[in-house]
Amino acid sequence: MRQVAYPGLRITIVLFSLISAAMIIAGAALLQVDDPVYLKQLIEDAGPVQLVGQTAIFIAFGLACVFALIDDKRRVAYTQLSYLLMFYALREADYHYKVSEHAKATQFKRFFSHELIPLSSKLFLAAIVLLFLVVMYRYLKTQRPVFMAALRDRLPWALCALAWAGVFFMSQAVDQVPIFHNFTGQVFEEIFESSAEILALLAMILFRVQLRAPSVTPGRLVT
C-alpha cells in the first residue's frame, strides 16, 4: 500500500530550503569575521553554532525516550533509537573526552593506543562502543525495509533522514580532508554538524506528523 506523504512534499521542500538558507547565511556571516580568536569562540564547544546543534540532538534524544514510554507499537525501536541518539549527542558534546583526563590531549581515534590512558577506561569505552554497534545493527536490520518503502513513497521524514545522512557525511569528510584543516574548514564542519543534528530532530518530528496522515499505515520505522 502506497503511503500518502504528510504534511506534503511542498512543505518538505520549504523546510529543506529554510535549513539550506540558514546554513548559507551562517557560513557567510562566520567567514566575514576577521578576528580569529572571536571566530574560534563562535564555532567551538561553547559557541552558538555547536550549541544549536547540540540542543537539537539532545531534544531528539529526549523525544525518543518519551515516545518509547507512550508508543507501545514502536517501543523497542524507540528504545534502540534513544540509545543511538544518546551516543550521538554525547559524542557531539565531546563527552568521550571526559572518560579519561588524558583523552582531551589525544584524538578519539588514538584513544585506545595512548599509553597514559588507564586500561579500565579503554575497556569501559570499548564496551560502550560495542553495545552501540550491536544496537545500531539490530535497529538498521529491522527498520531498513520500512525506511526504503518510505523513501520510495517520498515521505517527508524519510527524505529528511536521507538529508541527515548526506549532511553528516559531508561534515565527516571535511573533518578528514587535510586541506580543510583551517578556520574555513572548521566553519563548514561545524555548520554541517549542527545542521545534521537539526535534520535528525526534524526527521523525528515529521515521522510523528506522518502518523496522523489519513488512511496511512506508517510502519515501524522510527528515526
Residue extents of the structural domains in the chain: 9-210
Set of cell numbers at residue 85 = 541518539
Q: Is the pLDDT of residue 157 over 90?
A: yes
Summarised one tens digit per residue, pLDDT across range 192-202 is 999 999 999 99
Indicate whether this model's pTM tops 0.75.
yes
CA atoms of 169 and 69, how far apart (whole Å) = 31
* pLDDT over threshold 80, residue 208: yes
Instruction: At 111, list the grid cell.
Output: 584513544
Integer Cα distance of 181 and 119 in angstroms: 31
Average pLDDT value over all residues in the chain: 85
* pLDDT (average), residues 150-172: 93
Which of 122-131, 153-162, 188-197 bottoms out in mean pLDDT, i.e. has the lowest? 122-131
Given a cut of 50, whether residue 162 has pLDDT beyond it is yes
What is the identity of the amino acid at 4? V
- Tell me if 92 sits within 8 A of 60, measured CB to CB: no
